[in-house]
Amino acid sequence: MKSTTSIKFSSSRNDFFATLNQRVNEYFKSNNISRYANSEMKVKTTFMFVIYLVPYILMITGVVTNVWLMLLLCLIMGCGVAGIGLSVMHDANHGAYSNKKWVNQLLGYSLNVVGGNAFNWKVQHNVLHHTYTNVHDVDEDISPRGILRMTPHSDWKGIHKFQHIYAWLVYGLMTFVWVFVKDFVRIVRYQKDGLVKNQKADIRTEWTILIATKVIYLFYILVIPMFIFPIGVTGWQWFIGFFAMHYVAGFILAVIFQPAHVNEEAEYPLPNEEGRLENNWAIHQLYTTTNFAQGNKILSWYVGGLNYQVEHHLFPNICHVHYRSISKIVKQTAEEFGLPYKAEPTFIGALASHGRLLRELGRKPQPVTELAPAL
């Protein structure tokens, strides 16, 4: 992985973001609107926790004992896990939920409640992905991905020929792997790469939080149902439900995040020999990010406004309930400055574009040949 300190953004055309930022600030000021969560957001937060916790309570208390109904409840819990991730902890860990730091920290730890780790997520997502979007070997969302090739700059392997087929199956494993493997691997790597120090975090504290919250999570999600409460299923049946819950959550999260950056319209800029990227940070976001299904209000409500990915990347500290309104300002300003505002009209279209790119990236790259000089 490249050192982030060696990569710099261009310092040109800063007038775009200065103008955009002024206009967005004026929108909130003139309409007397807070940039943070409103009543709609608070209702949504409650809803996401309800669809996660209520099915769990119904099962462990023996209210529901039918195996197939319990499996259905596990699938609903998976939707709750994804909903908490997309609509609650995401805003909180960006500092966008509340103007009170302790509220953001508390709700940010909802990720730990469902098996993840807030500190790792903030380094991976806030620092690496949001700063160096689609930059190979820095943005962990696209590289390196092992059996998945998400950027034309990643090494090609024979198995990638089939990634447009198996990727959809692999996506469901995302949160399951986070719980048992990736969080531990990441914290070790972030310590080694100096990212823990850069965040002014104490590694002993973060290890303590990681281990303690993992133990608490596995205790209430596996030990209590399997060994303490007689809920009417065997241990392996409950583990299947646990796996199904995470598979649903992982799949939902993947198909929301991937089409926004891994699609036919997105670009994958590389720094030059001096380590400098072509554009400044804000313009870089426009070239590497794509919105989708902006007219689908139901989808947008559930996914935490992340179908407005352009707005989210430019203003991650604004609560997502405001993205629809400021999107008009962002689009107009981008067009005034002759910059792209990428958007796919439908969610299905965004998934199809992602699938086509996976197929294209799965083809073996042709060797670059040098042309002989003319005589």
Q: What average pLDDT does the segment 227-248 reach?
A: 88
Q: What's the CA angle centered on 176, arms 218 and 42, to 5 degrees?
A: 75
Instruction: Name the β-bridge partners of 291.
Output: 343
Residue 2: predicted pLDDT: 59
Contacts of 24-28 with C-beta under 8 Å, sequence gap 24+, read 24/315, 24/318, 24/326, 24/329, 24/330, 27/325, 27/326, 27/329, 28/322
> Can you tell me the distance from the alpha carbon of 346 to that of 299, in angstroms, rounded to the nearest whole number?
10
* Percent residues over pLDDT 70 in the chain: 96
pLDDT at 361 over 50: yes
Provide the sign of the torsion angle of the four alpha carbons 305, 266, 140, 24, taken in this order: negative
Residue 3: predicted pLDDT: 58
3-class DSSP assignment, residue 372: coil
Contact 238, 226 (CB under 8 A): yes
Among 64-68, 141-145, 345-349, whose mean pLDDT is lowest?
Answer: 141-145
Tell me whether residue 237 is exposed, middle or buried, using C-beta atoms within 10 angstroms of its C-beta: 0 to 12, 13 to 18, 19 or more.
middle
- State the pLDDT confidence band at 57, using cuts at 50, 70 and 90: very high
> Can you tell me the distance from the alpha carbon of 238 to that of 45, in angstroms, rounded to the nearest whole number?
27
Residue 369: predicted pLDDT: 55
pLDDT at 47 over 50: yes
The amino acid sitting at 365 is P
pLDDT at 255 over 50: yes
**DSSP letter string over 172-224?**
GGHHHHIIIIIHHHHHHHHHHTTHHHHTT--HHHHHHHHHHHHHHHHIIIIII
Q: What average pLDDT does the segment 65-69 reach?
A: 93
Mind listing the pLDDT tens digit for each residue in 200-225? 999 999 999 999 999 999 999 999 99
Residue 375: predicted pLDDT: 43
Residue 368: predicted pLDDT: 58
* Average model confidence (pLDDT) across the chain: 94
Residue 4: predicted pLDDT: 64
pLDDT at 326 over 90: yes
pLDDT at 367 over 90: no
> Can you tell me the distance from the alpha carbon of 90 to that of 86, in angstroms, rounded to the nearest whole number?
6
Query: What is the β-pairing status of strands 291-292 and 343-344?
Result: parallel
Residue 143: predicted pLDDT: 75
- State the pLDDT confidence band at 144, using cuts at 50, 70 and 90: low
Mind listing the pLDDT tens digit for each residue in 292-317? 999 999 999 999 999 999 999 999 99
Q: How far is CA 129 from CA 122, 227, 346, in A?
A: 10, 40, 24
- State the pLDDT confidence band at 227, using cuts at 50, 70 and 90: confident
